[in-house]
């Protein structure tokens, strides 16, 4: 399996950790009765709200990256540079998720910018192929 596809798999694991982490955090804070209810009471702790926003942000970014990386591999345009960029994207998303969950703002933004740059580098061969 290529590095780009490993990155996509890793991104799925991060998303699962964010979603289940938020749920487990809420279940622990609110108890089993709340966990088994309809959860109409959406009053969540700041940490739970951060985890929910981190999961939403993660999805927004992965929705752009995963198809790009997949098409790149299927088209046979992946290189060692795109593989490293894909792993950099994965690392940036992991750092973003962690710093978002902990409430660390400026470093979190740096991870987000790094992810955008890694996305562009990963997708560059596709962009180049479209215009040549």
Q: What is the mean pLDDT of residues 116-125?
A: 97
Task: Give the residue from 98, 90, 130 showing the smallest Cα distance to 114.
Answer: 90
pLDDT at 112 over 90: yes
Residue 13 backbone dihedrals phi, psi, to 5 degrees: -65, -40
pLDDT at 126 over 80: yes
Q: What is the mean pLDDT of residues 86-115?
A: 96
88/58 Cα distance (integer angstroms): 15
Give me the pLDDT at residue 41, please: 66
Under 8 Å between Cβ of 81 and 127:
no
For all residues of the chain together, what is the average pLDDT? 92
Q: Where are the alpha helices (DSSP H) in 31-79?
A: 32-35, 46-74
Give me the pLDDT at residue 17, please: 95
User: For residues 125 and 45, which has the higher predicted lDDT (pLDDT)?
Assistant: 125
Q: What is the mean pLDDT of residues 101-127?
A: 96
Give me the pLDDT at residue 36, please: 80
pLDDT digits (tens, 9 = 90+) for 6-45: 999 999 999 999 999 888 888 888 788 877 888 776 677 7
pLDDT digits (tens, 9 = 90+) for 76-100: 999 999 999 999 999 999 999 999 9
């Amino acid at each position: 399996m290529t590095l780009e596809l490993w990155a996509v798999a890793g991104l799925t694991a991060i998303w699962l950790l964010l979603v289940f982490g938020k749920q487990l955090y809420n279940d622990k804070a609110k108890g089993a009765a709340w966990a088994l209810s309809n959860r109409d009471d959406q009053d969540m702790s700041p940490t739970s709200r951060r985890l929910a926003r981190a999961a939403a942000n993660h999805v927004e970014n992965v929705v752009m990256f995963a198809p790009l990386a997949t098409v790149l591999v299927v088209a046979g345009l992946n290189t060692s540079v795109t593989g490293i960029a894909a792993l950099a994207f994965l690392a940036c998303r992991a750092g973003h998720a962690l710093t978002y969950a902990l409430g660390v703002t400026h470093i979190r933004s740096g991870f987000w910018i790094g992810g955008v740059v890694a996305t562009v580098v990963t997708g560059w061969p596709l962009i180049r192929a479209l215009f040549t």
